[in-house]
Amino acid sequence: MRTKRDNKEGNGLLQRAINGDQRALADLVGRHSAMAYTIAVRITLNKEDAEEVVQDAFIKAFSSLERFRRSARFSTWLYRIVHNTALDKVRGRRTDDGRGGDLSQARTPVQGNAGWEDLVDGDRIAYLDRAMELLCETDRSLFALYYSGGRPISEISKVTGLKRSAIKMRLALGRTKIKEELERLLGNEKDSLL
């Protein structure tokens, strides 16, 4: 949960970044790159594309920083840029070569010395990723923002441009699709894995 102190420090950091402070720019990247990547990889289903999207989004954001409206949170504004850049990437990729994506490309493989819990976690992630592939790009980004990022519906609405009611409906439908796919893939083992 953000506090007033966090907002004040964030605003100071943002002002320093607007003034061209390289350390402040690096701090903003450090604070937001993980969530930006999560959004991008959920939309693109491809590690390399997601990395490119995040880089492009930060470049777009930093080149437009002086136009950033302080009435919005910087993270909301940035994640909207990431969201739109990732959607553009997917649309461009479809017209270029018609290929889709695969979330398994975006995962870090479980290392050879991993313990049982790491293997179970790896399986859990693999099956969830596979089920997530059934969702459209926008719905995957909703899941990333809501579940991975812990963002409130009101902020997700600003990032995606969707109404709150539509977001709630799409999250509910997405959960149903994922549950059905996991049941299809795992049968009775679904409950023990998840």
The answer for residues whose C-beta is within 8 angstroms of residue 37's C-beta and 6 or more apart is 50, 51, 54
Dist CA 113 CA 184 (whole Å): 31
Q: What is the mean pLDDT of the chain?
A: 81
- Domain range for 142: 4-193
Q: At 49, which CATH number?
A: 1.10.1740.10
pLDDT interval class at 194 (50, 70, 90): low
Q: Sign of torsion, CA 88 41 133 166?
A: negative
Question: Residue 89's pLDDT is what?
Answer: 93
pLDDT interval class at 117 (50, 70, 90): low
Dist CA 23 CA 15 (whole Å): 12
Q: How far, rounded to the nearest angstrom, does the alpha carbon of residue 122 sit from its chain's CA centroid?
A: 19
- The answer to whether 46 and 102 have CB atoms below 8 angstroms apart is yes
Question: Residue 6's pLDDT is what?
Answer: 42
Residue 86 pLDDT greater than 80, yes or no: yes
Cβ atoms within 10 Å, residue 194: 11
Looking up tokens 């699709």 gives: 177
Residue 40 pLDDT greater than 90, yes or no: yes
Percent of the chain at pLDDT > 90 equals: 47
Question: What does the pLDDT average to over 107-112?
Answer: 45
Question: What does the pLDDT average to over 37-61?
Answer: 94
Dist CA 58 CA 102 (whole Å): 24
List the alpha helices (DSSP H) in 98-193.
116-132, 137-143, 153-160, 164-186, 190-193
Question: What does the pLDDT average to over 50-73?
Answer: 89
Dist CA 6 CA 13 (whole Å): 10
Domain count, the chain: 1
What phi and psi, each to the nearest 5 degrees, are found at residue 155?
-70, -40
Query: Rounded to a whole number, what is the distance in angstroms from the first to the last CA of the chain?
Result: 27
Read off the DSSP letter of residue 107. Answer: S
The larger pLDDT score, comparing residue 2 to residue 29, is at 29
- The answer to whether 189 and 123 have CB atoms below 8 angstroms apart is no
* Residue-wise pLDDT tens digits, 133-162: 889 999 999 999 998 889 999 999 999 999
Question: What does the pLDDT average to over 38-67?
Answer: 93
Question: Residue 184's pLDDT is what?
Answer: 87
